[in-house]
């Protein structure tokens, strides 16, 4: 199982350091088979030097080695910290930052050419969800435009937009239906994200085609995140 914490614009360098100390202690003192990753803000990348069991990833990057791109970071800056895992296609970037599918595909190709692990996010808005499964799948598959779904370091995260940060997770049956349909076409590991918490995580990761979770709000408190890790790790499929 893969358990990923997306901090978004939460936590600082200092608080990420404290978080890491606690989670590393937890992983040292519990036998956990799952892979744990944290995607903190860039300013917390220096904390990575104290991480043994927690992988670090980048929530964003611009597809250049380096250059005149005000406010962005490129390959050189990620490489300095040994970051080799990136999130691409998150709905917050698609919607708030207006990232088009072309921009996203460009980032994907750059990350692939540089051999990054890519956690590629897809997800439908509420009006598509209400239209039924055929519309949902059509919408989700359109988000693979320009994406090489055979890339060996690709992980797909299904995050329905209406379930992100709302406390309203998709019900297990809805997640199951989508993950099964995705797995028929795409052979990569599949994560679910969207209001994952301590109460719903067992039924979600228990689904046949769920290979892990991408957790936002419920990952911010380290004790809570450790409880989620423990719960997931107890599920034997
Ligand atoms: P929440 O867990 O806060 O709904 O966020 C999910 C998410 O967007 C992870 O990338």
Q: What is the pLDDT of residues 21-74, one digit of tens each?
A: 999 999 999 999 999 999 999 999 999 999 999 999 999 999 999 999 999 999
When pLDDT is averaged across residues 89-111 and rounded to a whole number, the result is: 98
When pLDDT is averaged across residues 159-184 and rounded to a whole number, the result is: 91
Which amino acids bring their CB within 6 angstroms of ligand 1?
6, 90, 159, 164-165, 193-196, 214-218
Q: State the sign of the Cα–Cα–Cα–Cα dihedral 64, 93, 9, 227.
A: negative
Q: What percent of the chain has pLDDT over 70?
A: 99
Residue nearest to atom 1 of ligand 1 (CA): 216
Which residue in this structure is represented by tokens 């991408």?
214
Shortest-distance atom of ligand 1 to CA 196: 2
Structure tokens at 229: 């890790």
**Does the pLDDT at position 165 exceed 90?**
no
**pLDDT on residue 11:** 98
- Going from the Cα of 66 to the center of ligand 1, the distance in angstroms, rounded, reads 29
- Going from the Cα of 67 to the center of ligand 1, the distance in angstroms, rounded, reads 31
Average pLDDT over all residues of the chain: 96
Instruction: Give, in order, the Cα–Cα distances in Å from 53 to each of 20, 28, 199.
Output: 10, 8, 25
Residue nearest to atom 2 of ligand 1 (CA): 216
Per residue in 11-20, pLDDT (tens digit) is: 999 999 999 9
Residue nearest to atom 7 of ligand 1 (CA): 216
Q: Of 64-73, 121-130, 169-178, 212-221, which gets the smallest average pLDDT?
A: 169-178
- pLDDT category of residue 167 using cuts at 50, 70 and 90: confident
CA dist 134 and 120 (Å) reads 21
In order of their start, the domains of the chain are 2-236 (3.20.20.70)
**Does the pLDDT at position 176 exceed 80?**
yes
**pLDDT on residue 166:** 82
Better-predicted residue by pLDDT, 163 or 205: 205
Longest dimension (CA), the chain: 49
CA dist 53 and 37 (Å) reads 9
Per residue in 191-229, pLDDT (tens digit) is: 999 999 999 999 999 999 999 999 999 999 999 999 999
Residue 111 burial (C-beta neighbours within 10 Å; 0-12, 13-18, 19+): buried
φ/ψ (deg, to 5) at 154? -95, 135
**pLDDT on residue 149:** 98
**Does the pLDDT at position 124 exceed 70?**
yes
- Going from the Cα of 38 to the center of ligand 1, the distance in angstroms, rounded, reads 13
Structure tokens at 159: 């995050």
Clarify whether 159 is annotated catalytic. Answer: yes
**Does the pLDDT at position 106 exceed 80?**
yes
CA dist 123 and 169 (Å) reads 13
- Going from the Cα of 25 to the center of ligand 1, the distance in angstroms, rounded, reads 25
Three-state DSSP class for residue 215 = strand
Better-predicted residue by pLDDT, 90 or 164: 90
- pLDDT category of residue 237 using cuts at 50, 70 and 90: low
Residues 6 or more apart in contact with residue 76 via CB below 8 angstroms = 65, 66
Clarify whether 90 is annotated catalytic. Answer: yes
The number of beta carbons lying within 10 Å of the beta carbon of residue 196 is 25
Structure tokens at 17: 């350091």
């Amino acid at each position: 199982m893969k358990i990923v914490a997306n901090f978004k614009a939460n936590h600082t360098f200092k608080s990420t350091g404290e978080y890491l100390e606690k989670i590393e202690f937890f992983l040292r003192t519990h036998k956990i088979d799952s892979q744990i990753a944290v995607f903190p803000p860039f300013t917390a990348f220096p904390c990575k030097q104290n991480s043994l069991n927690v992988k670090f990833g980048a929530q964003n990057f611009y597809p250049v080695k380096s250059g005149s791109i005000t406010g962005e970071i490129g390959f050189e800056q990620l490489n300095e910290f040994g970051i080799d895992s990136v999130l691409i296609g998150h709905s917050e970037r698609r919607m708030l930052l207006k990232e088009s599918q072309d921009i996203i595909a460009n980032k994907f190709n750059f990350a692939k050419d540089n051999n990054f692990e890519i956690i590629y996010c897809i997800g439908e808005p509420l009006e598509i969800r209400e239209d039924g499964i055929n519309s949902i799948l059509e919408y989700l598959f359109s988000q693979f435009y320009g994406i090489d779904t055979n890339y060996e370091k690709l992980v797909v995260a299904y995050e329905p937009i209406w379930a992100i940060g709302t406390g309203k997770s998709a019900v297990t049956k809805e997640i199951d239906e989508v993950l099964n349909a995705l797995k028929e076409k795409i052979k990569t590991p599949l994560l679910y994200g969207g209001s994952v918490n301590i109460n719903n995580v067992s039924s979600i990761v228990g689904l046949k085609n769920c290979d892990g979770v991408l957790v936002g709000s419920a990952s911010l408190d380290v004790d809570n995140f450790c409880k989620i890790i423990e719960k997931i790790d107890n599920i034997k499929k």
